[in-house]
Structure 1
Amino acid sequence: MNIDLFDSLMAEVKDCGSFAKETQKNIRRDFKSDNSVVTATDIAIAERLIAKIQSLFPDCNIINEEIQGAAFDERAPYTFIFDPIDGTDSYSQGLPSWCIGVGILDREREAAGSIVYAPRFGNSCDELFMWTAPESDTVYLNGTEFSIDPDIMRQKDMPKQITTGSDLLTQIDMQPIIRQLKESSVDFKFRAFGSSLIHIVSALVFCGIDACIDPSCYVWDIAPAHALVKKCGLDYQYCTGQEFRYDDSLLLQRKKFPEPLIVGTKKGRDFLISRIRG
């Protein structure tokens, strides 16, 4: 991928984030047919990003939450999957835990690139801007090359602090997990911010957060962070132990993925999966 084109897309994401930040205090929340929250800012950013991606990458697929586009082309070199605002409920209430996310899959449906921009949710600063370009192994956080310290990576092999969404309680029986953790005397905590993408990248950028259990949701809630996760040495896996794949159900039929996802190191995922499965 031409890096200048990718840079132009990143600049548009940053501009959209500034726009969302400026309009947040005056936003009015509405509801879609499934009772999820939507705002005028979601729609405005979706339209802007579709137009930008189409102008920069006219031969690529686009999948997003708010606006359905053209038919999926299996021959396209890349598929762009974005959420104009992940954490719309938080955004509509004036909270800082929301972001714009753009994920890029290659022709083999492998996570290749990521842009996650949270204008009000920083890591020792005012914002969190994390990205990695296709055909590159480098991850950047707020303009600086990013990697996870080896000692912190080893800490993630036995997760103690985990981000998750509020829907998890309706999708997983937590009693076996709680019982086993009590028996092993693990000081265990859940953190919830209201944005799937922020939950995922928090397991990368905050040293005290070791993993994420992401409740079943949609491809645009997870794809924008996937390349960041993989290039930092973590990955996605279903809580059943099954391998995660971008299949037709997620991409073409726009269905939720069937089970909660575990995001973490291989040992960390095995640790959590063993306790979820009892």
Structure 2
Amino acid sequence: MADSESERAAVTTRAAREGAAVAADYFRTDLAVETKDGDTDVVTRADREAQERVIETIRADYPDVTIVGEENDAPTTVPDEGSAFVVDPIDGTNNFVRGVPFWCTSVAAVADGEPVAAATVAPAVGDEFLADETTARLNGDELSVSRRDGPETATVSPTLWWDFDSRDEYAAAAEGVVERFADLRRYGSAQISLGYVAMGALDGVFSNLRGNPWDTVAGVHLVRCAGGEATDLEGNRWHHDSRGLVVSNGAVHDAVLSTARDAEAQRG
């Protein structure tokens, strides 16, 4: 059984690659699409089979570990004690089913509630974001967040899904970006967006929502390892069950946090 941090990181990477390979075989094929909690919450055979492959890969080294995941009735809560893995077989399924290449398989290793390794593999665009305990890399090259320190030069992405009864929050989030920053991006995959903060392509990613751990944990770890910052809506260090997700290069964090709070001000 694997037990060192380096072995955990290796298993995380191997599992993400295996799951991504399964998903990639279905990409841009005639794939049946089902819905879960709403018309925009979609799932496919590719999601389920990719998660099964990820779990099989992890279980080969960690037969009894908790595996938190989005599909197949997996546990949905990260334990605050002991080891666990957090899995998103396809983050960006709406992109996936439309043939848009911004989707990924994401896996994080967690110890006592804190991520210690992460892998976000995006085969359709040829990118692998990997992190051990301290260092983040993209396709083998060490990552660092951007140095942009003025909001007027920053590009920021509102992320996660505001449902139809929360569109005033979504609108406030978008308006806040337009008013404060140089430009807005929205890729349709939280994990890819977080990876882009880690590599310096984006300067901030935010939401006033509470994200699922499979949408957030791996990417937050990548950003922190690349020198960035992640907090909740109160400005406290982000945790897997935090309300709000505010991630940045650090230099423009206050402006990103203010934009997330603008969205939250519309709630209820």
TM-score relative to the length of structure 2: 0.80
Deviates most, 46-55 or 165-174: 165-174
How many residues align structurally? 251
CA distance in 1, matches of 2:120, 2:6: 17
Q: CA RMSD in A?
A: 2.9
Provide the residue aligned with 2:135 in structure 1: 138
Which ranges of structure 1 fall in alignment gaps of 5 or more residues?
122-126, 251-256
Q: In 2 relative to 1, CA 181–95 (structure 1 residues): closer, same or farther, beyond 3 Å? A: closer
1:211 aligns with 2:204: yes
Structure 1 residue 72 displacement after superposition? 7.3
- State how 1:71-220 maps to structure 2 within 5 Å: 75-76=81-82, 78-107=83-112, 109-121=113-125, 127-133=126-132, 136-148=133-145, 152-153=146-147, 155-156=148-149, 158=151, 160-165=154-159, 167=161, 170=167, 172=169, 178=175, 182=179, 188-207=182-201, 209-214=202-207, 216=209, 217-220=211-214
SS of match in other structure, 2:110: strand
Which ranges of structure 2 fall in alignment gaps of 5 or more residues?
263-268
Q: In 2 relative to 1, CA 74–176 (structure 1 residues): closer, same or farther, beyond 3 Å? A: closer
Identical positions, percent? 21
Amino acid in the other structure paired with 2:248: G
Q: Residue 254 of structure 2: which of 261, 264, 270 is its match?
A: 270
Structure 1 residue 187 displacement after superposition? 5.3
Deviates most, 47-56 or 36-45: 47-56
Q: Residue 55 of structure 2: which of 50, 56, 60 is its match?
A: 50
TM-score relative to the length of structure 1: 0.78
Provide the residue aligned with 2:66 in structure 1: 61
Q: In 2 relative to 1, CA 25–112 (structure 1 residues): closer, same or farther, beyond 3 Å? A: same
Q: In 2 relative to 1, CA 82–92 (structure 1 residues): closer, same or farther, beyond 3 Å? A: same
Amino acid in the other structure paired with 1:14: R
Amino acid in the other structure paired with 2:99: G
Provide the residue aligned with 1:25 in structure 2: 28
SS of match in other structure, 1:213: strand
